[in-house]
Structure 1
Amino acid sequence: MAGYRVEKRGQENTGTYRLFFSNDKGQFLSPFHDIPLMASGTEDVFNMVVEVPRWTNAKMEIATTEPLNPIKQDVKKGNMRYVANVFPHKGYIWNYGALPQTWENPDHKDESTGCRGDNDPIDVCEIGTKVCSRGDVIQVKALGILAMIDEGETDWKIIAINSKDPEANSFKNIDDVRRLKPGYLEATVDWFRRYKVPDGKPENQFAFNSEFKDKDFAIQVIKSTHDFWKDLITKKSSAGGINCTNTSVSNSPFQCSEADAKAFVDAVPGYSAGDSVPADVDKWWYSKKN
């Protein structure tokens, strides 16, 4: 994770846990706003912030409404949220995370899906061989995209591979995933369709008849969400509850000082082990496939 460090705060597996980011000089920053989207100046390689390593269950996410946007665990009805192992899947089946400096604008109705954005950075499913660590910042090649409709909102899922993966050169588009990792795309749709069912929610739906769009389509979506973020960070769009505090974005009225950034982190108690993971997290959950 060259160039970036993470610092744990609060208690593990509790609502106080936070993972803050800093640069190689130890200066705190926002993984949402300060890490650049483009990784190498090419059209299809991007920085990805890993929120959830493959095979794990804790639903970690960038805290979009908090200063400096640390990673935290989602909470539901006062309980820490873990995704169920919906048979035959174990936790998340990819390294899961987000592209920085992107925003799915909730005031914008997407022409292709007919639904508004979900007010988050765009999600990424990284399909490489390495199991990443929470808070890693990796460079990924966009290969395609899936349009999930989550409770009436457009929730794009980028399919990507770590550019440093031993097999990365063999993957240039979504058809390569279908050819070289048979069944993976079908498993991805199945996972997203059913992962909320154990919580009592209906199956998720998809645009385009659950089909994946190609790399070019994915890059256009990434570019449009990057433009929405630019409007957000410069106050040209309503913030929609997003905390835009940053330390490096030029022309942003939300930029803060290094001292202020450190104060945000110091306001959170130091790290401790905290609670253990509930035993039922490792159980299989079976459901009838429709």
Structure 2
Amino acid sequence: MSFSVEERGNPNTQNYRIFFKNAEGKYISPFHDIPMCADEAQNVFHMVVEVPRWTNAKMEIATKEPLNPVKQDIKKGNLRYVANIFPHKGYIWNYGAIPQTWEDPLHKDGDTGCCGDNDPIDVCDIGTKVCLRGEVIKVKVLGVLAMIDEGETDWKVIAINVEDPEAKDFNNIEDVRRLKPGYLEATVDWFKRYKVPDGKPENQFAFNGEFKDKDFAVETIKATHGFWKALVSQQTNAGDLNCKNTCVSGGDSPHFCSDEDAKALVRATCPCGSEEPIPCTVDKWFYCAKN
């Protein structure tokens, strides 16, 4: 199963969008139409890469827009970039989401005591390759971190690209601790402090900031898949989320989007144009004391 992307608008502007297509060239939603599992028997999952490693632009699946293209987050009317908090430069992994998952904001998690953040579950690929924005890769799940972001449960799955030359050596979270010393500690530090330059407090974690193992992570992903199923089958109130899809829902569903309607939605966006420069302030370093 392969996927491709179509860029619209001008990169590094508020009109920039990345739309997704399947192998037949049909427009699809990366939130709803890409299968969660690439190999269910082996617990291999699809990952939509939103942010390549070492970059700063806060790209994300636009869950409230038709066909859910990837776009850059907006904060106070401006494009959002994460700060470089010494010694971290941008994102320290390929960062993205597992499709067909959803952290239900009305479900209080029994372990964290907090409700979900209303987004697909996040995933950090620790492989050696720097992926492309919008790339869909297959990942082996290794563990998960339970971050509490402004009172919401925000799971961070740790995984590795199955095509990574070292993937065979990584089968659980302890393999990361053993073979990539310091990476898990850096991951906790990154998530704890990345909003501090914006004047916000450090994020908190369930389980005292300890990573849970592969089995726990897989069960957590499957639970969020169940919430997603309820979402697209209208058993749960979608709120302002856009559930339009071209592959999952039947033609009688209000969520179904025909090929022609999908093409019209994409054509209505700005055509692909020249890239705007990234503000030089994005390269600034911040030095924050650790609490």
Q: Which residue of 2 aligns with 1:75?
A: 74
Displacement of 1:72 after TM fit? 0.2
2:156 & 2:133 partners in 1: Cα distance? 19
2:55 & 2:263 partners in 1: Cα distance? 30
Work out whether 1:12 is the aligned partner of 2:11: yes
Work out whether 1:255 is the aligned partner of 2:256: yes
With 43-52 and 221-230 compared, the bigger mean Cα shift is at 43-52
Q: Which residue of 1 aligns with 2:178?
A: 179
1:68 & 1:112 partners in 2: Cα distance? 33
Work out whether 1:245 is the aligned partner of 2:247: no
Work out whether 1:111 is the aligned partner of 2:110: yes
2:212 & 2:197 partners in 1: Cα distance? 28
2:209 & 2:12 partners in 1: Cα distance? 34
* Cα displacement string for residues 236-281 of structure 1 (whole angstroms, at most 9, x for unaligned residues): 0010321000001045541110000111111101011242100011
Q: Which residue of 1 aligns with 2:280?
A: 279
Q: Is the 8 A contact 2:29 2:246 kept in 1?
A: yes
Residue 189 of structure 1 aligns to a residue whose secondary structure is: helix
1:235 & 1:278 partners in 2: Cα distance? 42
Residue 219 of structure 1 aligns to a residue whose secondary structure is: helix
Q: Is the 8 A contact 1:38 1:45 kept in 2?
A: yes
1:240 & 1:154 partners in 2: Cα distance? 18
Displacement of 1:43 after TM fit? 4.3
Q: Which residue of 2 aligns with 1:152?
A: 151
2:110 & 2:281 partners in 1: Cα distance? 41
With 274-283 and 132-141 compared, the bigger mean Cα shift is at 274-283
Map 1:159-174 to 2 at 5 A: 159-174=158-173
2:148 & 2:44 partners in 1: Cα distance? 26
Return the letter of the residue paired with 1:49: V
Map 1:8-47 to 2 at 5 A: 8-47=7-46
Q: Is the 8 A contact 1:49 1:138 kept in 2?
A: yes
1:216 & 1:40 partners in 2: Cα distance? 16
Residue 40 of structure 2 aligns to a residue whose secondary structure is: coil
Residue 190 of structure 1 aligns to a residue whose secondary structure is: helix
2:29 & 2:249 partners in 1: Cα distance? 14
Map 1:210-221 to 2 at 5 A: 210-221=209-220
Q: Is the 8 A contact 1:95 1:127 kept in 2?
A: yes
* Cα displacement string for residues 79-116 of structure 1 (whole angstroms, at most 9, x for unaligned residues): 11100110000000000000000000000000000000
Q: Is the 8 A contact 1:53 1:95 kept in 2?
A: yes
Q: Is the 8 A contact 1:234 1:253 kept in 2?
A: no
Work out whether 1:205 is the aligned partner of 2:201: no
* Cα displacement string for residues 12-60 of structure 1 (whole angstroms, at most 9, x for unaligned residues): 1111100000112221110000000010232420000000000000000
Displacement of 1:11 after TM fit? 1.5
2:87 & 2:171 partners in 1: Cα distance? 28
Q: Is the 8 A contact 2:28 2:245 kept in 1?
A: yes
Q: Is the 8 A contact 1:141 1:162 kept in 2?
A: yes
Extract unaligned runs of 5+ from structure 2.
none
2:190 & 2:27 partners in 1: Cα distance? 35
Structure 2 length-normalised TM: 0.98
Q: Is the 8 A contact 1:104 1:119 kept in 2?
A: yes
Return the letter of the residue paired with 1:35: I
Root mean square deviation of aligned Cα: 1.0
2:76 & 2:254 partners in 1: Cα distance? 35
Return the letter of the residue paired with 1:69: N
1:263 & 1:247 partners in 2: Cα distance? 13
Q: Is the 8 A contact 1:106 1:240 kept in 2?
A: no
Q: Which residue of 2 aligns with 1:50?
A: 49
Work out whether 1:135 is the aligned partner of 2:134: yes
Q: Is the 8 A contact 1:103 1:228 kept in 2?
A: yes
With 266-275 and 185-194 compared, the bigger mean Cα shift is at 266-275
Q: Is the 8 A contact 2:249 2:255 kept in 1?
A: no
